[in-house]
Amino acid sequence: MRNASGVTEFILLGIPHTDGLENMLLVLFLFFYIFTLMGNLLILLAIVSSSRLHTPMYFFLCKLSVCDIFFPSVSSPKMLFYLSGNSRAISYAGCVSQLFFYHFLGCTECFLYTVMAYDRFLAICYPLRYTIIMSHRVCAVLAMGTSVFGCIQATFLTTLTFQLPYCSSSEVDYYFCDIPVMLKLACADTSALEMVGFISVGLMPLSCFSLILISYSCIICSILRIRSTEGRRRAFSTCSAHLSAILLSFVPVVLIYLQPTPNPWLNATVQILNNLVTPMLNPLIYSLRNKEVKYSLSKLLQQLAFLPEK
């Protein structure tokens, strides 16, 4: 993106009201980041290595793990870098990249959760036609579509933000480049752009969440019609992990971008939970509540540790 501003770099001021806590935060966030990468990588390897998990549901879970590996990597490495006492400066291009990839991966995950809800809707409401409808080609198109629409949304938001001139302060009162804090630095009237951005950022997750609610309303109705208690229990167990991950993903978006009076400290806390804790919890949610994933993980760990299989 062409830089039409006089600013060549920005200074990340970090998390508000945390002066003197850099060493403690460095250790804590480094643990979260490493655990997130390892957990999602293990889920990814377990799904790829097990032929039993080569189904549409686990194909989408595999892509979710890939997103959860890259999503915290947008802002965490730079944050860990300056928490360790290094420079807080980030180039103009680096700031643009941070904002783009943050919203690209975040939007992709929102669309992916919607696709996963549609997958569960077909599996439970139309079990006999499920394998025909969710063919390999359909799965590939849906997975590609989540990335394409995520890229379109992120490109629009990034262009909207960085078409503004930045010519006054270069200090970003946050720990990474995001839309609300960047608009504060622009030396131009941003009221119209803030409204457009608010509608764009808010409309996408709300639309996805509405579609997910419709899917799960139909799913619950179908589950309640199942006669056997075991069948209902298995159906609820399959969907509960997805619902837990959805709540962990969508609630922070509402708190950050749709609150009437922004609170910098609250926003930073929620963003950290969204950037580090949620991607870390997703592998635990899907593995602890899924026997097939737990079996594949144990088999994979045995192979990695060169232990005999039980």
Nearest-5° angle of CA 192, CA 91, CA 21? 95
Q: pLDDT tens digit string along 14-23?
A: 888 888 888 9
Q: pLDDT tens digit string along 223-261?
A: 877 777 776 777 677 677 777 778 888 777 777 766 666
**pLDDT tops 60 at residue 46:** yes
Residue 87 half-sphere exposure toward CB, CA atoms < 13 A: 6
Q: How many CB atoms lie within 10 A of CB 85?
A: 9
Q: In one letter, which amino acid is 159?
A: T
C-alpha gyration radius of the chain: 21
Taking the C-alpha atoms of residue 271 and residue 103, their distance in angstroms, rounded to an integer, is 13
Architecture of domain 9-304: Up-down Bundle (1.20)
Helix (H, G, I), strand (E, B) or coil at 63: helix
Q: pLDDT tens digit string along 124-147?
A: 888 889 989 999 999 999 999 999
Q: Pick from 32, 119, 112: which is nearest to 73 by CA? A: 32
Q: Pick from 153, 80, 81, 77: which is nearest to 110 by CA? A: 153
Domain boundaries, the chain: 9-304
Q: What are the strands, taking DSSP E only, across 124-206? A: 171-172
**Of the segments 19-28, 80-89, 145-154, 249-258, which one has the largest average pLDDT value?**
145-154
Average pLDDT for the chain: 83
Taking the C-alpha atoms of residue 114 and residue 133, their distance in angstroms, rounded to an integer, is 16
Q: Pick from 39, 12, 22, 17: which is nearest to 278 by CA? A: 39
Q: What is the pLDDT of residue 236?
A: 73
Residue pair 119/146 in contact (Cβ under 8 Å)? The answer is no
Q: pLDDT tens digit string along 111-123?
A: 999 999 999 899 8
Residues 6+ apart with CB under 8 A from 308: 302
Q: What is the pLDDT of residue 24?
A: 92
Helix (H, G, I), strand (E, B) or coil at 89: strand
